């Protein structure tokens, strides 16, 4: 592990600019770290050749006196849910066997245009369905953090490979996607920053769809500033995605260090869970004190429909997924398992191609959309969603940003909660409400639990007010001074 692996995007950009090192050197150091950390299983496809070639291009640009901005020459990892031109794209599923897109997702294209160097495609829960990165066809990802007695821990999910790669200093940053917490929860579990922008801020074009009305791409980084830099590159209106917002992308770093003096921070009463470790409550209080000591005013707010968010999410997301995943039918690409009739081919292909969790959600989704159940489940869940959004809207009449814990626990061991889907789903209990309302949110590493494992604090802001979100997150980050790192990355 070299010092190059420990840089922030900001510091690396400066080093490149000052000629302290080249992008090829920076990239080579990260490829070396990738090679050294094979046991984490963070990547499904490693692309060292592509990385070195793009690094070389970046160096050539710089030598010629031009750069493409703060991400030029920065080695990053890409969640294997983003379609990447000419590079295997699996979504962590057997059913996409051998699928190599002829196209590049808008978000990764934006990063490519900005000169970012792709190290590889990171492991994830199958079709981004999971909170522990244990549902991947390509086997679980191990967190670089170890539990008591050296136990292997989950990195969280679904962006578990991306989180592990960033935490283990294999990549300076990584892309993730967040449907109900898939960026923020793994960030919390691995002691890094994970940010989900406002729904519509990033284009969904070219991202394998899980739940269309909830999916958003976002950055996983080691600092809030890096998240602000990277989101600035990823975001932007895209005519190819009707749900992408036709609004300009501000410079998210401009007011990053502006402080929180005079800011009103809401502390929602409802963000607690029976049996939640006391240290999470304590950290939450600590976060409140950190912000208050910097001049913010913290007030308690009520979001009364919070408890309905998770059940409603587990109706809406599977419903959309059941339809979005219908295209994986063995006819045009990916896995095909032959059968004696079309129906048998479908059954064989989808039965073999989808893992247990994906099959469970497709079945739930099909059920809640069925004649006779649609009104009782899907329509009602959509109403709940409206109520949740209204809760937030009312709260934001009084406050600028909300502070909550990111997850109800620290990372757990691989294999735990595997036989209890509901216990697994509870991982996202604090992240799902913002997803249901389409709001921007971020997890900032803030402390350690009694076993020395990272815990994150979670901020939620108004639609398209990522600037306030980043500014508050930066203040929290400064105060927390989180500098713990996983073994092997020290």
Of 338-357, binders to other proteins (CB under 8 A) are 342-343, 346
- Per the listing, tokens 């809207």 go with 393
Q: DSSP letter for 249, please.
A: P
Work out whether 326 is an interface residue with other proteins (CB under 8 A). Answer: yes
- Using the rule CB under 8 A, which residue among 150, 242, 275, 340 binds other proteins? 242
How far apart CA 104 and CA 203 sit, in angstroms, is 12
Work out whether 213 is an interface residue with other proteins (CB under 8 A). Answer: yes
370 annotated active-site = no
Cβ 130 to other proteins shortest distance, Å: 18
Concatenate the DSSP letters of all residues of 358-419 into one string: HHHHHHHHHHHHSTTTTIIIIIHHHHHHHHHHHHHHHHHHH-SEEEEES-SS---BTTTTTT
Work out whether 211 is an interface residue with other proteins (CB under 8 A). Answer: yes
Of 276, 162, 147, 305, which Cα lies nearest the Cα of 222? 162
- Using the rule CB under 8 A, which residue among 14, 148, 151, 240 binds other proteins? 240
Classified as helix, coil or strand, 6 is helix
Of 374-393, binders to other proteins (CB under 8 A) are 374, 378
Contact flags string 266-305 toward other proteins, x per CB under 8 A: ----------------------------------------
Catalytic residue among 22, 105, 158, 188: 158
Helices (H) and strands (E) in the chain, counts: 15, 11
Catalytic residue among 182, 203, 322, 409: 182
Which of residues 40 and 83 has its CB atom nearest to other proteins in the complex? 83
Which helix (H) or strand (E) covers residue 284, if one does? helix 278-293
How far apart CA 444 and CA 432 sit, in angstroms, is 17
Of 154-193, binders to other proteins (CB under 8 A) are none
Of 91-110, binders to other proteins (CB under 8 A) are 91, 96, 99, 101-103, 105
Work out whether 2 is an interface residue with other proteins (CB under 8 A). Answer: no
Token duo for residue 331: 């006819």
Q: Give the E-state strand segments of 53-129 in sequence order.
A: 75-79, 117-122
- Using the rule CB under 8 A, which residue among 61, 366, 413, 449 binds other proteins? 366
Beta strand 401-405 with 297-301 is unpaired
462 annotated active-site = no
Work out whether 145 is an interface residue with other proteins (CB under 8 A). Answer: no
Q: DSSP letter for 489, please.
A: -
108 contacts 232 by C-beta, under 8 angstroms: no
How far apart CA 58 and CA 50 sit, in angstroms, is 12
Work out whether 235 is an interface residue with other proteins (CB under 8 A). Answer: no
Residues contacting 327, CB < 8 A, separation 6+: none
Which of residues 83 and 163 has its CB atom nearest to other proteins in the complex? 83
Classified as helix, coil or strand, 265 is strand
* Count of residues interacting with other proteins (CB under 8 A): 44
Q: DSSP letter for 111, please.
A: H
Contact flags string 56-95 toward other proteins, x per CB under 8 A: --------------------------xx-----x-x----
Cβ 372 to other proteins shortest distance, Å: 9
477 contacts 444 by C-beta, under 8 angstroms: yes
Which of residues 99 and 189 has its CB atom nearest to other proteins in the complex? 99
Q: Is the peptide bond before 158 cis (omega within 30 degrees of 0)?
A: yes
- Please identify, among the stretches 33-41, 116-124, 235-243, 275-283, the one whose residues bind other proteins according to the rule CB under 8 A: 235-243
Number of Cβ atoms within 10 Å of the Cβ of 259: 16
Work out whether 247 is an interface residue with other proteins (CB under 8 A). Answer: no
Work out whether 226 is an interface residue with other proteins (CB under 8 A). Answer: no
Residues labelled catalytic? 79, 158, 182
* Chain residues that interact with other proteins, rule: CB under 8 A: 82-83, 89, 91, 96, 99, 101-103, 105, 204-209, 211-213, 239-243, 319-320, 322-323, 325-327, 329, 331-333, 342-343, 346, 366, 369-371, 374, 378
């Amino acid at each position: 592990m070299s010092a190059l692996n420990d840089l922030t995007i900001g510091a690396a950009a400066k080093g490149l600019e000052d000629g302290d090192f080249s992008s090829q050197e920076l990239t080579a150091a990260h490829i070396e770290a990738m090679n050294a950390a094979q046991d984490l299983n963070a990547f499904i496809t490693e692309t060292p050749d592509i990385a070195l070639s793009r690094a070389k291009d970046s160096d050539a640009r710089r030598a010629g006196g031009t750069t493409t901005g703060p991400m030029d020459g920065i080695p990053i990892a890409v969640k294997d849910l983003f379609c990447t031109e000419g590079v295997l794209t699996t979504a962590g599923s057997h059913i996409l066997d051998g699928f190599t897109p002829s196209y590049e997702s808008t978000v990764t294209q934006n990063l490519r245009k900005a000169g970012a160097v792709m190290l590889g495609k990171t492991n994830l829960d199958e079709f981004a369905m999971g909170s522990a990165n244990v549902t991947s066809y390509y086997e679980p990802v191990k967190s670089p953090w170890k539990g008591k007695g050296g136990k292997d821990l989950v990195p969280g999910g679904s962006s578990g490979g991306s989180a592990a790669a960033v935490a283990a200093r294999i990549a300076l940053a990584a892309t993730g996607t967040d449907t109900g917490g898939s960026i923020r929860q793994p960030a919390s579990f691995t002691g890094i920053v994970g940010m989900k922008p406002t729904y519509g801020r990033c284009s969904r074009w070219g991202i394998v769809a899980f739940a269309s009305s909830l999916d958003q791409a976002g950055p996983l980084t080691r600092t809030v500033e890096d998240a602000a830099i990277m989101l600035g590159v990823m975001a932007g209106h895209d005519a190819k995605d009707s749900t992408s917002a036709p609004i300009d992308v501000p410079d998210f770093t401009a007011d990053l260090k502006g402080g929180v003096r005079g800011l009103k921070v809401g502390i929602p009463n409802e963000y607690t869970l029976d049996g939640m470790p006391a240290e999470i409550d304590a950290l939450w209080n600590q976060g409140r004190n950190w912000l208050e000591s910097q001049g913010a005013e913290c007030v308690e707010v009520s979001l009364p429909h919070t408890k309905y968010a998770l059940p409603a999410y587990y109706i809406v997301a599977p419903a959309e997924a059941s339809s979005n995943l219908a295209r994986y039918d063995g006819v045009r690409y990916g896995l095909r398992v032959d059968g004696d009739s079309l129906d048998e081919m479908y059954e064989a292909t989808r039965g073999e191609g989808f893992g247990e969790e994906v099959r469970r959600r497709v079945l739930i989704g099909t059920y809640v959309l069925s004649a006779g159940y649609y009104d009782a489940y899907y329509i009602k869940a959509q109403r709940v969603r409206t109520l949740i959004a209204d809760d937030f809207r009312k709260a934001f009449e009084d406050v600028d940003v909300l502070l909550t814990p990111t997850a109800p626990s620290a990372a757990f061991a691989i294999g735990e909660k595997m036989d209890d889907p509901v216990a697994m789903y509870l991982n996202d209990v604090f992240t799902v409400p913002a997803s249901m309302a389409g709001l921007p949110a971020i997890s900032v590493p803030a402390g350690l639990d009694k076993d020395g494992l990272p815990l994150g604090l979670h901020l939620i802001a108004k639609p398209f007010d990522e600037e306030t979100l980043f500014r508050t997150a930066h203040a929290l980050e400064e105060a927390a001074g989180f500098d713990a790192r996983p073994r092997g990355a020290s």
